[in-house]
Amino acid sequence: MSELDPIALTQELIRRPSVTPADEGAMDIVQRTLEGLGFACKRMRFGEIENLYARYGTARPNLCFAGHTDVVPVGDAQAWSREAFAAEIVDGMLIGRGSVDMKSAVAAFAAAAGKAIAAGQVKGSLSFLITGDEEGVATHGTKMVVEALKAQGEILDHCIVGEPSSAETFGDMIKIGRRGSINTWITVDGRQGHVAYPHRAANPIPVLIDLLAKLQNHVLDEGYTGFQPSNLEVTTVDVANGATNVIPAQAKARLNIRFNPSHKGAELAAWIEAEAAKAAEGFGGTIKVEPVVSGEAFLTEPGAFTDVVAAAVQDVSGAAPELSTTG
């Protein structure tokens, strides 16, 4: 078996414009690669999302590499120094959407697995959990795959996620925990009218602004042991109104809360809904709240597993990494 080239595999993956929820054949490449190494692969499609679970061996412990093949949109294509999906190498740098987050990590995982298998170093099992729904709402990806695996009695004893986590230099940080995340869409429906006759309309914009300000100014907490304080950010505000003399019928906003273990996603969703209900009082319209919890806060306590990972990183980088929960 020839040794797998992680750079060539990364380039092949980058050349698939897999902007969530599109896959564009990226998962096929990963599956073909892993099957070539001897992995038993199982595709799991939820909604329009492609997911893959692959396992080499049946014994325990089962060490799982988790990652994703989807990427965020390119944005302004003209702002790129090279075409975003060309995967060109310029002055020793691989340029392309997904080159860092995280097609390179998926390729590196595969190459490392290939070396371990060829050397006969796999004592338990190696597995891959790769999703096409990480950059989006993330409701049809890892969460649903894990639930399906649990139902089948499949156990993941340890898991390494290859998301880029370095702060200043390569390998300087290992994330052993992460704050939870809840995305919420807020839609305020009022009544359209002319600015000269506001009494005939119900302007949704001031209501939305006041609600967002109240949510933004609320101190969720002062932090939690080992974690940053919880934080709310408004990410989108839209009224879809191009006229200067029209009171719009609708105003929308989207926000995200990154929360530490002081909170649960359902608790924060209930808080937002309660504040929205208060904001709707006396307003001649309605407020709709749509919260989606993509993950709860978690922490992997330092121990034997983190020691092994830290030692492996130091062996490559030459410096001891910091264990962190930032982000």
Query: What is the domain-level CATH number for residue 186?
Result: 3.30.70.360
User: Are 124 and 183 within one domain?
Assistant: no
Is pLDDT above 90 for 294? no
Number of folded domains that form the chain: 2
**Looking at residues 31-48, what average pLDDT do you find?**
97
* Same domain flag for 41 and 70: yes
* End residue of a domain, out of 102, 132, 164: 164
Helix (H) or strand (E) holding 36: helix 26-36
Residue 325 lies in a domain: no
What pLDDT sits at residue 289? Answer: 98
- Average pLDDT, integer, range 5-16: 98
Q: What is the mean pLDDT of residues 3-13?
A: 97
Does residue 138 sit in helix, strand or coil? Answer: coil
Do 185 and 152 share a structural domain? no
**What distance in Å separates the CA atoms of residue 159 and residue 238, rounded to the nearest whole number?**
39
pLDDT at 71: 97
Q: Confirm whether 39 is domain-assigned.
A: yes
Three-state DSSP class for residue 249: coil
91 shares its domain with 46:
yes
**DSSP β-ladder status, 158-161 and 62-68:** parallel
In a domain, 92, yes or no: yes
Are residues 122 and 54 located together in one domain of the fold? Answer: yes
Closest CA to 14 of 94, 110, 121: 94
Q: Where a domain ends, among 113, 141, 164?
A: 164
pLDDT band at residue 312 under the 50/70/90 scheme? very high
Q: What percent of the chain has pLDDT over 70?
A: 100
Q: Is residue 301, in this structure, part of any structural domain at all?
A: no
144 and 30, same structural domain? yes
Any idea which residues carry the catalytic annotation? 70, 134
What span, in angstroms and rounded, lies between the C-alpha atoms of 116 and 250?
57
Single out the residue of 142, 4, 3 nearest to residue 70, CA to CA: 142
The predicted pLDDT at position 2 comes to 73
Lowest mean pLDDT across 76-90, 95-109, 164-178: 164-178
pLDDT of residue 327: 86
Does a structural domain hold residue 20? yes
| Residue finishing a domain among 137, 164, 191 | 164
The token pair at 60 is 């325990």
> In a 3-state reduction of DSSP, which class is residue 163?
coil
Does residue 305 lie within any of the structural domains? Answer: no
Question: Is residue 281 classed as helix, strand or coil in its secondary structure?
Answer: coil
- Based on the domain organization, do 186 and 262 belong to the same domain? yes
Max Cα separation, the chain? Answer: 79
Residues 144 and 183 in one domain: no
Q: What is the CATH number of the domain that holds 15?
A: 3.40.630.10
Cα-flanking dihedrals φ and ψ of residue 263, to 5°? -130, 165
Arithmetic mean of pLDDT, 118-122 = 95
Q: 105 and 157: one domain?
A: yes
87-119 per-position pLDDT tens digit: 999 999 999 999 999 999 999 999 999 999 999
Asked if the model's pLDDT at residue 282 lies above 80, the reply is yes
Q: Which structural domain, as residue segments, surrounds residue 13? A: 6-164
Residue 310 lies in a domain: no
What band does 139 get if pLDDT is binned at 50, 70 and 90? confident
- CA–CA distance from 252 to each of 207, 241, 289 (Å)? 11, 12, 10
Helices 103-118, 26-36: inter-axial angle, 10-degree rounding:
10
So what's the pLDDT on residue 276?
98
The yes-or-no verdict on residue 86 having pLDDT over 70 is yes
What is the rounded average pLDDT of the residues 283-292? 96
Q: Are residues 128 and 152 in the same domain?
A: yes
Residues 149 and 126 in one domain: yes
Least-confidence region, from 22-26, 161-165, 279-283: 161-165
Q: Report the chain's C-alpha Rg in angstroms.
A: 23
Pair (196, 67) in one structural domain: no
Using pLDDT thresholds of 50, 70 and 90, give the confidence band for residue 1: low
Q: What is the pLDDT of residues 211-261, one digit of tens each?
A: 999 999 999 999 999 999 999 999 999 999 999 999 999 999 999 999 999
Residue 302, in any domain of the structure: no
